[in-house]
Amino acid sequence: MNILERIVLDKRREVASKMASLPLSFLKMSPLMEREAFSLSESIVKGSGIIAEFKRRSPSKQVINHSSSIIDVVRGYEKSGVSGISVLADTKYFGGALDDLVQARDQVAVPLLRKEFIIDPYQIYEAKAFGADAVLLIAAVLGPDEVVAFSATARQLGLEVLLEIHSEEELRRSDLTHIDLVGVNNRNLKTFEVSLETSKDLGPKIPDDKVKISESGISSARAIKALKPYGFRGFLIGENFMRTKDPAAAANQFLKELNNED
């Protein structure tokens, strides 16, 4: 069993437990269910294109940053001019929590992406109830019918959907009707090897009416400049900021360099 399969198996157990303790009917009572979500796709197209991530650890790198406050980080990210903020909500493998999403929502007025291994519609309602503006669906862990059903649920709740792909086959079999953004993860979720060539290969194959996002392995303004000709408007950056002592300052410096590069 590879790491992705193990994560999904644990996620199914986790979601079943949550549904037993906090039924969907309770989630629907959250005041945030009535909130009009910000548009991540619009923010990317009109802004810097940077989606900065808050992530404490990962299966591949273990501890990344356990000292930075989410409040300080997301405030700093917003001030630096990011187009969106990705919040890791998985606890077991990434050290995150839904409380991180709530705290971030209370602090900033930029779109929030709930970064999670979504395997049940319950988690989409969770995302809405806890303040997200967009959700991540991973083609590698979902069947084609699930992508359709889950993205339709998100659309009904007023949330945008970022569909993450790793191969042309995943793109080919995915119905993009209710998908707003398509992300190419440069990290192989089975081996955790990273290559920007994945984005360069798949970018031109993604329909141009979808906002294209390159994810993982982006550590310089030059890398972004190199990816833009392949159709990418957004760039998800996590560890490059979070592995520093001051992620907000790192993001601010990165955005300055990006502006100078442009």
Q: If you average pLDDT over residues 234-248, what whole number do you get?
A: 93
From residue 1, how far is each of 8, 59, 74, 142, 165 by CA, in Å? 11, 14, 35, 17, 20
Residue 191 predicted with pLDDT over 80: no
Is 115 an annotated catalytic residue? yes
Looking at residue 254, what is its pLDDT? 96
CA separation for the pair 92, 99 (Å, rounded): 14
Higher per-residue confidence, 135 vs 260:
135
pLDDT in tens, 133-190: 999 999 999 999 999 999 999 999 999 999 999 999 999 999 999 999 999 999 876 7
Q: Where do the domains of the chain lie?
A: 3-261
Q: Which of 215, 239, 240, 252 is catalytic?
A: 215
Is 53 an annotated catalytic residue? yes
Is 197 an annotated catalytic residue? no
Determine contact, residues 172/199, Cβ cutoff 8 Å: no
Q: Which CATH architecture has domain 3-261?
A: Alpha-Beta Barrel (3.20)
Is 61 an annotated catalytic residue? no
Residue 23 predicted with pLDDT over 80: yes
The pTM assigned to this predicted structure is 0.95
Q: Which of 115, 200, 210, 212 is catalytic?
A: 115
Looking at residue 262, what is its pLDDT? 64
